[in-house]
Amino acid sequence: MKKGLICDGRIILDGMFRRHLKIKNETYTAVIKGLCKRGNLKELHACWNNAQQNRWLPGLEDCKALMECLCKKEMLREALQLIESMLISLPHLRLDICHMFLEKLSVTGFTRIGHILLEELEQHGGILDHVAYSYLIRGLCKEKTFPLAFAILENMLARNLVPWLDDSVLLISRLCRAGRYEKAIYLKEIGLREKPLSSLSIDRALIEGCCMAGKVGEATTILRNMLLKGILPDTETYNILVQGHCKVNNLKKVRELLGVMIRKNFSISLATFRNLVCLMCVEGRVLYAVNLKELMHGQSEPRDLTIYNILIFYLFQTGNTLIVNNVLDHLQEKKLLLNEVTYNFLVYGFSRCKDVSSAVEILSTMISKEFRPSNRNLRIVMTSLCGIGELEKALELSREMESRGWVHDSIIQNAIVEDLLSHGKLQEAEKFLDRMVEKCLIPENINYDNLIKRFCSCGRLSKAVDLLNIMLKKGNLPDATSYDSVTSSCCAVNQLDQAMDFHTEMLDRNLKPSINTWEILVHNLCQDGQTAEAERLLLSMVCIGETVSREIYSSVINRYRLEKNLRKTSELMQAMQQSGFEPDFETHWSLISNLSNSSDKDNANSSQGFLARLLSSSGFSRQKDSKTKLG
């Protein structure tokens, strides 16, 4: 059903539903199938709900198609509704319906849901066969949910159901890797009882499992037993054994197995070749690694290029760029055209080996051939160019990226701007960042924390604030040091209101301001005559458990003292002493002097003299011990 017809069909169906006309199952099925393929989820849900209210039930074949579509769209609730309706309405097809549902769930990556269905059916007395269990085991292995696959195996064995051969082969290797070697042997034994002629595939699975678990000795023993029984291992078995011995660095055994493979004219798989090259490079036998390609003769051209790609990748790990260049010359002699993988390996390898000029040259060639370098390669080349002072080349690469609409990630933008700033090119740095915004080349996870601090230190507060806002818009929260830098810079240019806004935002986002930021804010508020606001900040520090320094107390106390607010001065001096700090003599004496000059009316309001009140408010009290007397 074409998109336009689907829309028309849905409109007609809605009209029929509003007029309470009887709608056939086939009509609902046709529209729902069409919406599943092309319609949006909102329309599909609406039509589905209407169909459910009218007790709609599709035919078995239609149900299969719908089930797959619903699973792909992750509409699991609707899929379960459908299966439940089918099981109730067609009890004689119960097992077929279960098979169909489990198959679709396992194919679309929702085998766990299938397992829940299986348990539900078993609790209600449902009897499931090999087919149902097989779908679950294969699906779970595909999804790498091996513990649950093992649990289903145990369930099968408890019901005296033997897994099919393919499922046993699938499980044996994974059981070995999970350290359940005895269970793997048991599965092998019951498998051979069922199908004695399947010894090769089962033994191969056991060998693979032992190699995956690092038990190459056991794998070799299994091989020896196979030969004693007259079972001839095939190419795949020998490839598995070579890979296993490569992983444990057993070069002697690898050579022995390779000799057998060459004599028997067995082909070497790409996975085996990869392991061989890796082992040779680890062992320092680089020329042997290069010569291994001769073992792969007679392959098709795409495979030949893959062989060279593997060689290049591991040769770079030895740091020997000279041999890599020889391999490239050999590639040219064979007239093999490099692909995107080859170019990416070369760019990354030369960069890691500090041969930046070669990396840049290959990257340029790659781009000219319309290949897209990996983001990792763009990052490493850009940072390498900036690191060796090749700013112009870095900017040239950036312009090439801009022309192609390639996003500049955090590392690239930071490298370029940091380099521009280090050369004193502030305007160029700002223009570069502006272009990133204009051309939408900023990724979602952009991080400007370092640049925010740099622009603050350069006196470019507005640009620092712009970068902070871009991070927030992209859903990435700047760190506390970025807010500290912006807040401090606002104070430096006497933008106290904006500084307080950033400080408040910081606290709202559960970021912890530095002590230096608190001190700067309090000090600047005091200088601006906003002493009450400065005191509020000081008290909020105490409330959140922040350590209040002597300097912060002194700033507010001195300001209140200057304003001749004796009550506040005295209160904060007391709070300061409770925090373990003693006010200096000048502050004490100034307060005493101010108190002594206060009006007689103020003094008359208390039976104590001003010194007694001062001492009392400062934490001192008159000794009342009657036993203590002057001599």
Domain ranges for the chain, please list them. Answer: 162-266
Residue 616 pLDDT > 60: no
Predicted pLDDT at 629: 38
Which are the contacts of 512, defined by CB distance < 8 A and separation ≥ 6? 480
pLDDT of residue 599: 45
pLDDT(611) > 70: no
In this predicted structure, which of 63-77, 380-394, 447-461, 513-527 has the lowest mean pLDDT? 63-77
**Maximum alpha-carbon separation in the chain:** 120
Separation of alpha carbons 453 and 315, rounded Å: 41
**Highest-confidence segment of 51-55, 198-202, 248-252, 465-469:** 465-469
Segment holding 262, helix H or strand E: helix 251-263
Distances (CA, A) of 372 to 340, 365, 375, 393, 436: 7, 11, 9, 19, 19
Res 618 pLDDT > 80: no
Helices (H), 108-234: 111-123, 130-142, 146-158, 165-177, 181-194, 199-212, 216-228
Does residue 61 contact residue 100 with C-beta atoms inside 8 Å?
no
* 96 alpha-carbon distance from chain centroid: 41
Q: Identify the weakest region by mean pLDDT among 161-165, 274-278, 302-306.
A: 302-306
What pLDDT sits at residue 334? Answer: 86
Q: What is the pLDDT of residue 83?
A: 79
User: How many Cα atoms sit within 13 Å of 586 on the Cβ side?
Assistant: 5
| Structure tokens given for 37 | 């393929």
> What's the pLDDT tens digit per position in 398-455?
999 999 999 999 999 999 999 999 999 999 999 999 999 999 999 999 999 999 999 9
Higher pLDDT, 618 or 461: 461
pLDDT of residue 77: 77
Q: How far is CA 104 from CA 94, 98, 138, in A?
A: 16, 10, 12
Greatest mean pLDDT range, 19-33, 89-103, 295-309, 610-624: 89-103
The confidence score (pLDDT) of residue 448 equals 97
Residue of higher predicted confidence among 549 and 491: 491
Residue 576 CA to residue 553 CA, distance in Å, equals 6
Select the more confidently predicted residue: 487 or 628.
487
Burial, 510: exposed, middle or buried (Cβ in 10 Å; 0-12, 13-18, 19+)? exposed
Q: C-alpha distances in angstroms, 289 versus 274, 283, 301, 546, 625? A: 10, 10, 20, 62, 95
Q: What is the mean pLDDT of the chain?
A: 83
Residue 230: how many other CB atoms lie within 10 Å? 6
Does residue 80 carry a pLDDT above 60? yes
- Say what the pLDDT of residue 438 is: 95
Measured CA distances, 257 to 266, 272, 276, 289 (Å): 11, 12, 12, 17
Q: Print the SS3 string covering 11-51.
A: HHHHHHHHCCCCCCHHHHHHHHHHHHHCCCHHHHHHHHHHH
**Residue 74 or 292, more confident:** 292
Q: What is the pLDDT of residue 497?
A: 94
Q: Which two tokens stand for residue 54?
A: 């009218």
The first and second tokens of residue 577, run together, are 């002493």
pLDDT at 380: 96
Q: Is the pLDDT of residue 68 over 70?
A: yes
Q: Inform me whether the pLDDT recorded for 172 exceeds 90.
A: yes
Q: How confident is the model at residue 105 (pLDDT cuts 50, 70, 90)?
A: confident
Residue 622, pLDDT > 50, answer: no
Q: Look at the pTM and tell me if it is higher than 0.85.
A: no
In contact, 229 and 196? CB cutoff 8 Å = no
Q: What is the pLDDT of residue 28?
A: 67
Rounded CA-CA distance 630/132 in Å is 101
What is the CATH architecture of 162-266? Alpha Horseshoe (1.25)
Q: Which of 221, 261, 255, 217 is nearest to 239 (CA)?
A: 261
CA distances (Å), origin 288, targets 293, 310, 321, 323, 363: 9, 14, 16, 12, 29
pLDDT value of position 87: 78
Query: How many CB atoms within 10 Å of residue 74?
Result: 13
Task: Give the C-alpha separation, 41 to 148, whole Å.
Answer: 32
Give residue 5's pLDDT: 43
User: Looking at 44-48, 144-148, 447-451, 623-627, which range is the least confident one?
Assistant: 623-627
Q: Rounded mean pLDDT of 151-164?
A: 89
Q: What pLDDT, on the 0 to 100 scale, is given for residue 390?
A: 94
Alpha helices in 264-352 (DSSP H): 270-282, 286-291, 301-317, 321-333, 340-352
Tokens of 357: 């000029």
Is the pLDDT score of 575 beyond 80? no
Please, how many CA atoms are within 13 Å of residue 28, restricted to the half-sphere of its CB?
A: 23
Query: What does the pLDDT read at residue 102?
Result: 85
Could you please report the per-residue DSSP string of 109-132? T-HHHHHHHHHHHHHTT----HHH
Rounded CA separation 570/489 (Å): 33
- Residue-wise pLDDT tens digits, 303-332: 788 999 999 999 999 998 999 999 999 888
Across 1-5, 30-34, 299-303, 449-453, least confident range: 1-5
Q: Which two tokens stand for residue 599?
A: 């009006």
The single residue listed with the structure tokens 């700047």 is 478
Cβ pair 133, 152 in contact under 8 A: yes
Residue 23: what pLDDT? 60
CA–CA dist 349, 320 (Å, integer) = 10
* pLDDT(561) > 80: no
Q: Which residue, among 509, 536, 505, has the nearest Cα to 522 in the 3D structure?
A: 536
pLDDT-above-70 percentage for the chain: 83
For residues 584 and 550, is the Cβ–Cβ distance under 8 A?
A: no
